[in-house]
């Protein structure tokens, strides 16, 4: 395994974040820990293991293969798969591995029912209700129809029902979604279908609307050590467990006026030490998420950031940390490397450790994760 770049995960920080979330939950509210997307870059297998060791007994992921990965790693807790499972083979494997699947449409119900009829086992399912996100989900009449069809079948356990907030910081819209969701829940109960687990609150809703906790909450972002984007009345004392690290693999001194990188996008204004680190676009450095701006103001911010970055305004540069000091990345970031400008006289050498600002969700899952525990040697794993 390459040791020129790795990710350090602070186990105590993960445990701290879990306790911060638990402190707001009643005994009757179940925590569903969301470990999708490789546990937000922290490593799904080991993060789930840490959470299990600290009392978490229910996880959620986006896709079937993520759930199987956890099972193969020895995670025996409940695991909910958010997205629909669309092949018969995946349904059979889900039953074998005691996964909890989501029904988002009558097509989902059909394939699950067709497979389970010819297979000896029971399948737990949650119903996903679309209340305004528009991704996938059942409407009220479809939810009633699914319950009517599956409830008599002892091979199915309709364990849960949930929806997803589209814009948690918009209290008005979220309230409408909650009302719509509870309308579906109440209608099902009137029809005689009592579903034990009800959940709507993700990390953002969790911080804003305690009355929407119901009897389960889905928390991912907060456990990863970050508050969701927006302003919240409740702020937790979170710790970021994640640090992306590398080492200097080359160091040389270049004269004032030297150009750096492809297309000569940066010209040195003084004699400088130029260090090379083996981290680039391929690792997620300088890669930005390019979703459509949320409104006109957000668009202006994005445009301003690009313009100011072009003129090398210091605030908009990318900085790494070496021995507690910040140094800028210069020139265009390469596919697998980047250049750092370091003033003459700064005592650095090849092999020195560098902390690099690679966004955790963009970091390759193949990069080794080192799990650091207080007063214990670090343990390493790949995913």
Could you tell me which of 308, 331, 334, 339 has the C-alpha nearest to residue 259? Answer: 331
Give yes or no: residues 125 and 268 share one domain: no
What pLDDT is attached to residue 379? 74
Which of 14-18, 49-53, 69-73, 164-168 comes out lowest in average pLDDT? 164-168
| Chain CA centroid to CA 276, Å | 30
Q: Do the domain assignments include residue 70?
A: yes
Give the domain CATH number at 257. 2.40.37.10
**Does residue 236 contact residue 222 with C-beta atoms inside 8 Å?**
yes
Count of domains in the chain? 2
Give the domain CATH number at 202. 3.20.20.10
What φ, ψ does residue 346 adopt, rounded to 5°? -75, 130
What pLDDT is attached to residue 244? 98
Q: pLDDT by residue (tens digit) across 222-234?
A: 999 999 988 898 8
**Does residue 214 contact residue 16 with C-beta atoms inside 8 Å?**
no
Q: Do the domain assignments include residue 228?
A: no
Give yes or no: residues 301 and 182 share one domain: no
- Please state, in angstroms and as integers, the Cα–Cα distance from residue 359 to each residue in 15, 26, 221, 284, following that order: 21, 33, 13, 7
Going through the chain in order, the beta strands assigned E by DSSP cover 5-10, 30-34, 58-61, 78-81, 100-103, 123-128, 156-162, 197-199, 216-219, 242-247, 250-254, 259-260, 266-267, 272-277, 319-322, 325-330, 338-342, 353-356, 369-372, 379-381
What pLDDT is attached to residue 98? 96
Which of 76-90, 102-116, 120-134, 298-312 comes out lowest in average pLDDT? 298-312
Give yes or no: residues 277 and 183 share one domain: no
Give yes or no: residues 201 and 341 share one domain: no
What pLDDT is attached to residue 314? 60
pLDDT at 293 over 70: no
Other Cβ atoms less than 10 A from the Cβ of 97: the count is 14
Is residue 113 within a helix (H) or strand (E), and if so which, with residue range? helix 106-117
Residue 81 and residue 65: Cα distance in Å, rounded? Answer: 9
Q: Do the domain assignments include residue 59?
A: yes
Q: Do the domain assignments include residue 230?
A: no
What φ, ψ does residue 128 adopt, rounded to 5°? -100, 125
Q: Average of pLDDT values for 263-283?
A: 95
State which of 116-120, 238-242, 315-319 shows the largest mean pLDDT: 238-242
Q: Do the domain assignments include residue 229?
A: no
Give yes or no: residues 176 and 110 share one domain: yes
Ramachandran category for residue 132: left, alpha or beta (phi over 0 → left; psi -120 to 50 → alpha): left
Share of the chain above pLDDT 70, in %: 90
Could you tell me which of 79, 21, 81 has the C-alpha nearest to residue 201? Answer: 21
What pLDDT is attached to residue 286? 85
What pLDDT is attached to residue 56? 98
What pLDDT is attached to residue 288? 62
Give yes or no: residues 181 and 136 share one domain: yes
Q: Do the domain assignments include residue 244?
A: no
Q: Where are the alpha helices (DSSP H) in 23-87?
A: 36-40, 44-53, 64-72
pLDDT at 183 over 60: yes
**245: which 2 tokens?**
């690290």
Domain final residue, candidates 176, 202, 219: 219
Mapped onto helix, strand or coil, the DSSP state of residue 16 is helix
Give yes or no: residues 75 and 211 share one domain: yes
Give yes or no: residues 44 and 193 share one domain: yes
Give yes or no: residues 160 and 307 share one domain: no
pTM for this one? Answer: 0.90
Give yes or no: residues 322 and 261 share one domain: yes
| Chain CA centroid to CA 107, Å | 28
Give yes or no: residues 67 and 186 share one domain: yes
Residue 41 and residue 62: Cα distance in Å, rounded? Answer: 14
Burial (0-12, 13-18, 19+ Cβ within 10 Å), 216 = buried
Q: Average of pLDDT values for 178-197?
A: 98
pLDDT at 316 over 50: yes
Give yes or no: residues 257 and 147 share one domain: no
Mapped onto helix, strand or coil, the DSSP state of residue 243 is strand
Q: pLDDT by residue (tens digit) across 324-380?
A: 999 999 999 999 999 999 999 999 999 999 999 999 989 988 899 999 998 776 676
What pLDDT is attached to residue 3? 78
Residue 10 and residue 5: Cα distance in Å, rounded? Answer: 16
Residue 137 and residue 130: Cα distance in Å, rounded? Answer: 4
What pLDDT is attached to residue 317? 86
Burial (0-12, 13-18, 19+ Cβ within 10 Å), 33 = buried
What pLDDT is attached to residue 66? 98
**Dihedral of CA 42/45/51/56: which sign?**
positive
Q: Do the domain assignments include residue 335?
A: yes
Q: Do the domain assignments include residue 240?
A: no
Q: pLDDT by residue (tens digit) across 207-218?
A: 999 999 999 999
Mean confidence (pLDDT) of the chain: 92
Range of the domain at 22: 10-219
Longest CA span, the chain = 79
Provide the pLDDT confidence category of residue 1 given band limits of 50, 70 and 90: very low
């Amino acid at each position: 395994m390459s040791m020129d770049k790795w990710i350090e995960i602070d186990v105590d920080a993960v445990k701290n974040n879990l306790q911060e979330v638990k402190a707001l939950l009643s005994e009757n509210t179940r925590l569903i820990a969301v470990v999708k997307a490789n546990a937000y870059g922290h490593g799904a297998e080991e993060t789930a293991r840490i959470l299990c060791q600290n009392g978490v007994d229910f996880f959620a992921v986006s896709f079937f293969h993520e759930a199987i990965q956890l099972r193969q790693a020895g995670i025996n807790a409940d695991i909910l798969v958010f997205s629909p499972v669309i092949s018969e083979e995946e349904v059979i494997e889900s039953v074998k591995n005691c996964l909890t699947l989501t029904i988002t449409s009558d097509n989902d119900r059909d394939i699950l029912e067709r497979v389970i009829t010819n297979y000896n086992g029971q399948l737990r399912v949650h119903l996903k209700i679309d209340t305004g996100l528009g991704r996938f989900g059942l409407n009220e009449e479809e939810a009633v129809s699914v319950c009517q069809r599956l409830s008599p079948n002892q091979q199915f356990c309709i364990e849960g029902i949930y929806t997803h907030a589209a814009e948690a910081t918009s209290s008005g819209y979220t309230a409408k979604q909650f009302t719509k969701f509870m309308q579906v829940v109440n209608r099902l109960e009137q029809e005689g279908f009592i579903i034990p687990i009800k959940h709507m609150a993700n990390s953002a809703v969790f911080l804003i609307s305690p009355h929407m906790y119901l009897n389960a909450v889905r928390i991912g972002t907060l456990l990863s050590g970050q508050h969701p984007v927006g302003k919240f009345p409740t702020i937790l004392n979170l710790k970021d467990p994640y640090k992306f690290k590398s080492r200097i693999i080359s160091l040389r001194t270049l004269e004032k006026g030297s150009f750096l990188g492809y297309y000569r996008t940066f010209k040195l204004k003084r004699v400088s030490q130029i260090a090379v680190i083996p981290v680039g676009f391929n690792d997620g450095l300088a890669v930005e998420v390019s979703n459509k701006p949320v409104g006109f103001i957000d668009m202006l911010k994005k445009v301003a950031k690009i313009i100011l970055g072009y003129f090398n305004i210091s605030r908009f540069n990318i900085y790494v940390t070496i021995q507690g000091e910040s140094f800028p990345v210069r020139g265009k970031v390469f596919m697998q490397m980047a250049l750092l400008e370091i003033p003459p006289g700064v005592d650095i050498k090849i092999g020195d450790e560098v902390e690099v600002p690679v966004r955790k969700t963009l970091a390759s899952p193949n990069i080794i994760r080192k799990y650091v525990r207080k007063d214990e040697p670090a343990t390493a794993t790949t995913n």
